[in-house]
Every structure is written in C-alpha cells, then in structure tokens.
C-alpha cells in the first residue's frame, strides 16, 4: 500500500460505525465488505486528507488512484479512490489519456455505485476537455459487450444540462434502446429524465417517436414531464 492509501484506511477506520457495515454491504449486494462509513463523513474525511495534495504528472496521479483502487479491502476505500480522481489539483489531468484508468475502475467495479459516480462526473470532465475524442470513444463503448461501459456512455452527459449534445446522447442510447438489461433500461430513463429538466418537450417528443423504449425507460424519462 502507498502511504496515502494507508492514511485513507486508517482515517476511515477511525470514523466507521461497524454496526452499520453489514447493512450497507447487504444493500449494495457487495462481495467486498464495508467499514461502515456513510457518504457525507467519507467525503469530509477525503477532503481533509487531500488538502494540499498535488501530483507532478497525470501518470503519477493515475498510479496513486489505481493503487488505492486495486488494494482496497473495503468498499469505502474505492469510494475514496473515486474522490481522489476528482480533486481540484487533478482537473488538468481529466484528459483522454486518463480514460484507461476509468475504464479499469468501471470494468472491475462493475456495479452502479462506482460506475455512476465515475460516468456522471469524471467522464463528463474528459468530455468537456476533449469533446471530439471522447465522443468517439463513448460511441465505441455504447456498442461494446460490457454492460457497465454501455451504461457509462449513456450517463456521461448526465450533468451536462444545457451543454448536452442531443445527437451524441441519442447515439449512445440507440444500441441499448431495446435491451432487456435492467441497468441499461434504467440508465436510458435516467439520462432522459435528467435532460427533461432542461427541455421537457424534447424528451416527450423523443419518447413519443421511440415506441421501442422499455416501459421502465419511458416511465423514468417522463417522471417530471407534465402530461
């Protein structure tokens, strides 16, 4: 373990409530155990641990993030790795060369808590920095065999609001639009529902012209759209 990884584990252990850990593990259906640290104190602890932290290169930053991710014994340590990936001093490293790191985290994490945080925050940062290169890669992910990479492509503009590229969003949805996989159906509905906050009429139009959308996707998409 790196020195930072050890400090993270020590601090999380200090603030953990072990009595909560089994319930958290059961809720997330996780093979990896929990320490018993909920999201708010975890983020607070990470913020304190990462004060003044900087990296000389993207490679150094990625090495540290992956060291924490790969050596994690508790799920909260992987949450801390995701937090580290998003620190302010690493903002300039959110480029296409960081995508293999996130890809490893998505594929090996293979569950919605990891994937959704990475897709909606970290992948969006790369998309904003290098839109054309990132769109090409996400279009590839949208048709690949890995469900979690497909979900990531669908969700990578989740927080883009008015900057959402609709053509790109629909291109990422299209390969999974008829999927029977719950996590893809849910992602499609969520992405559309989020954009409906910006343009509800457009989302209503899209749903109307795509009857092949699953009932779940439609229901999620139109949740906040007036009848």
Instruction: Give percent above pLDDT 90 in the chain.
Output: 97
Enter the pTM of the model: 0.96
* Domains of the chain by start residue, with CATH: 1-93 (1.25.10.90)
What is the structure's pLDDT at 54?
94
What is the structure's pLDDT at 227?
63
Q: What is the pLDDT of residues 171-226, one digit of tens each?
A: 999 999 999 999 999 999 999 999 999 999 999 999 999 999 999 999 999 998 97
| Alpha-carbon distances of 35 from 15, 17, 115, 192, rounded to whole Å | 9, 7, 20, 35
CA atoms within 13 A on the CB side of 165: 16
């Amino acid at each position: 373990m790196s020195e930072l990884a050890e400090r993270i584990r020590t601090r999380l252990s200090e603030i953990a409530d072990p009595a909560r850990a089994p319930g958290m593990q059961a809720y997330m259906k996780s093979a990896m155990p929990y320490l018993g640290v909920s999201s708010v104190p975890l983020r607070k602890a990470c913020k304190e641990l990462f004060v003044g932290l900087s990296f000389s290169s993207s490679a150094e930053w990625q090495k540290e993030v992956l060291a924490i991710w790969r050596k994690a014994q508790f799920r909260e340590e992987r949450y801390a790795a995701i937090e580290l990936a998003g620190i302010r001093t690493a903002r300039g490293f959110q480029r296409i060369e960081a995508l293999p790191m996130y890809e490893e985290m998505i594929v090996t994490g293979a569950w919605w808590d990891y994937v959704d945080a990475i897709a909606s925050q970290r992948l969006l940062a790369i998309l904003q920095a290098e839109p054309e290169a990132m769109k090409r890669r996400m279009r590839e992910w949208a048709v690949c065999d890995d469900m979690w990479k497909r979900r990531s492509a669908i969700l990578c503009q989740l927080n883009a609001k008015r900057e959402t590229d609709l053509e790109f969003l629909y291109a990422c949805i299209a390969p999974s639009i008829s999927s029977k996989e719950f996590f893809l159906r849910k992602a499609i509905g969520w992405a559309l529902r989020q954009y409906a906050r910006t343009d509800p009429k457009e989302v209503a139009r899209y749903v109307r012209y795509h009857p092949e959308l699953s009932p779940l996707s439609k229901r999620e998409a139109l949740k906040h759209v007036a009848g």
